A and B are shown apart, each in its own frame.
Chain A
Amino acid sequence: MNEPSRAPLIALRQVVKTYGTGTAAFRALNGVDLDIREGEFVAIMGPSGSGKSTALNILGCLDAPTSGAYYFRDIRVDELTRNQRALLRRQFLGFVFQGFNLLARTSAQENVELPLLYRGEDAAHRHEASRRALAQVGLDGWEHHTPGELSGGQQQRVAIARAIVTQPLVLLADEPTGNLDSKRGHEIMELLVSLNREHGITIIMVTHEPDMAAYASRTVRFVDGNVDSDLRKEQP
């Protein structure tokens, strides 16, 4: 499953992202070229302000590039409208955030069901798929707990279950271990690795912790809004 296919799943070509206008303008991305193939586990690293989060937001279709081209399969994402980008996210992408971003006072299962609801899946399927996703992240029996009743590691697992419940092609993770202690962090990384290996989900993860990045099969380092180094790990 880990064999990267030939055609890239994602391709950035000369992507520029500018925040602000005039003299206050700030170039967060400065002509980035990046290919990501299906099945890869990419860690994006770099100092703060290097553009790694901006790159992830653009890759995740949360944000649009100022100029340049973004191909997702054959789709020119940079030419899509807000709504079309949302449909693309809904169809192919899953997100995991540093701050978990679960809905408060809402049970784990209802949190996980949410993306399915927006896809218009029926109740029976929602129920079954959300339970399966929670079991996959090791939260069997925690379906009815709200985020307030779960530990940070468990909350991040719920967030991962929510991201994978739609069986996305790509999972985007923004500092997924940033709010966790190192033991929980390693557990989350192992979970991500198994999702990547066993289910073939392409994972793009931003992190600043080298020992978390070590789990990835490829590490892309950003400096000053551009790719500084791009290292592929030897296949184990």
Chain B
Amino acid sequence: MSQMLLNALLLAWRAIRRNLMRSFLTVLGIVIGVGAVITMVTLGNGATRMVSNQISSLGSNLLILRPGQQLGPGRDSAGAPNFKLADVEAIQNQVPALKAVAPVVGSRVTLVAGNQNWSSQVSGTTNDYFTAGNWNIAAGRKFEPDEETVGKAVCVIGATVKRQLFPRESPLGAELRVKNFSCEVIGLLAAKGQGAMGQDQDDVVLMPVRTAQRRLTGNQDVSTLMLSLRDGVTAEPAMDQIRRLMRERRKLSDNEDDNFNVMDTKQIAQTLSGTIRTMTGLLGAVAAVSLLVGGIGIMNIMLVSVTERTREIGIRLAIGALEHEVLLQFLIEAVVLSALGGLIGIALAFVTCLGLTALMNMPFLFNPGINLLAFGFSALIGVVFGYVPARRAASLDPIVALRYE
């Protein structure tokens, strides 16, 4: 029995070797199919994971309150008044579901330190911002209460700002020129990396809200509120409560629409990952087509060679091969070629994904399921189309097979 298997292996190997072109094309079809599907799905998974990572780095359970109507068609924020610091206090006092309420006042300005300059997003806010935005202090400290109340010229800078303006020295205690005033750097934020939309989250300067209002914007307005929900609190009731409070404070009558909107970042995250899942599905479908095309290629090659192979089977039967010996040989041939193609495809996809994810700053998620699925599918095609015609040929009478045209 083992001798027979050994002989069948030898025969299969000789058949593969003497039909190098056919073998190569068969393997190629499988390689492309398997490689494409695995690459697409792995990249899609990586992108989904990247986005959800970035969303969670935004801060979990984060609500954003902005003036103007909901984003989308017919959006109208032109006439909507901004918020005031009193609104911040009111929300803080009247919505117990929130653990942090951070006003954000800001603009993009040029920063100068020593002989370096850099343009960055400067935001005036409170210590709640660190909680709401999931920020950690890498060095230095947050704002002191008296710095917040009097609006002292102090700031906390992000990692990108540090890299651009204080490449070597520690920024703590240094003077940073923001637009036309100078402020003392008291803290450095821990780096977060790229945001969900591809922006650099670390390119920020934070200062007390009153400082920003007085020196940067020159008014008492607050353009955005970042609200962080307590753990285990559902967003909907809190959002309703905020909406009611704001309508009341803005003195909107029942027939007027909201002139502000509350967004839940979880919703944004869900929308975004939904979009990416759709894209992944789309890419997967494209890749599945290439797998199918690869499969049809294999099928073609196998069917084209069926005439030659049928005669070959006739010869083998005539000179003393038994039907099951011929079939075993063809089965081994098909399995070896398909497995070889599948393994090369997996290796190729692995290397490609490794390279592309590194290039695109994406996490590389090895997905055993899709690897197995793609491998199994092409192996199945290879085996079925290699084996089934052989099976038919081997059941012919040797003389019929020999005369097969």
Contact = CB atoms under 8 A, between A and B. Distances in A.
Interface of A: 57, 60, 62-63, 82-83, 86-87, 89-91, 94-95, 97, 101-106, 110, 114-115, 117-120, 162-163, 166
Interface string B298-333: 000000000010011011111111110100000000
A103 B315 CA distance: 8
A103 B3 CA distance: 23
Q: Count chain A CB atoms within 10 A of each CB in B4, B308, B317, B318 and give the residue with the most.
A: B318
Contacts of A94: 319
B321 A86 contact: yes
Interface stretch (B33-41, B60-68, B263-271, B397-405): B397-405
Contacts of A119: 320
A13 B314 CA distance: 28
Interface string B1-17: 00110010011001000
Interface in B382-405: 397-399, 402
A118 B7 contact: yes
A194 B97 CA distance: 107
B7 A62 contact: no
Contact of A103 (B18, B322, B399, B402): B18
Given A63-B399, A101-B311, A101-B402, A89 B14 contact: no
A166 B14 contact: no
B216 to A, nearest CB: 81
Contacts of A166: 320
Shortest beta-carbon contacts, A-B, top 10: A90-B320, A105-B18, A115-B319, A118-B320, A118-B321, A101-B315, A62-B398, A86-B322, A115-B320, A62-B399
B19 interface: yes
Contacts, number: 67
Given A86-B321, A120-B3, 13 more contacts: A62-B318, A63-B397, A89-B318, A94-B319, A102-B315, A103-B312, A104-B308, A105-B18, A114-B316, A118-B321, A120-B7, A163-B319, A166-B320
27 contacts: A57-B399, A63-B397, A63-B399, A83-B322, A83-B323, A86-B323, A90-B321, A94-B319, A95-B319, A101-B311, A101-B315, A101-B318, A103-B18, A103-B312, A105-B19, A106-B14, A106-B18, A115-B320, A117-B7, A117-B10, A118-B7, A118-B320, A118-B322, A119-B320, A120-B4, A163-B319, A166-B320
Nearest to A107: B18
Contacts of A106: 14, 18
A179 to B, nearest CB: 14
A119 B399 CA distance: 21
Contact of B325 (A82, A95, A118, A163): A118
Contacts of A95: 318-319
B312 to A, nearest CB: 6
A26 B321 CA distance: 30
B14 A86 contact: no
B319 A118 contact: yes
Q: Could you say which of B312, B315, B323, B397 has the most chain A C-beta atoms within 10 Å of its C-beta?
A: B315
Nearest to B318: A95
Contacts of B19: 105
B305 to A, nearest CB: 11
A115 B320 CA distance: 6
Residue in A86, A105, A106, A163 with the greatest tally of chain B CB atoms within 10 Å? A86
Contacts of A163: 319
A119 B3 CA distance: 10
A97 B318 CA distance: 10
Contact of A86 (B10, B312, B317, B399): B317
Nearest to B11: A117
Contacts of B317: 86
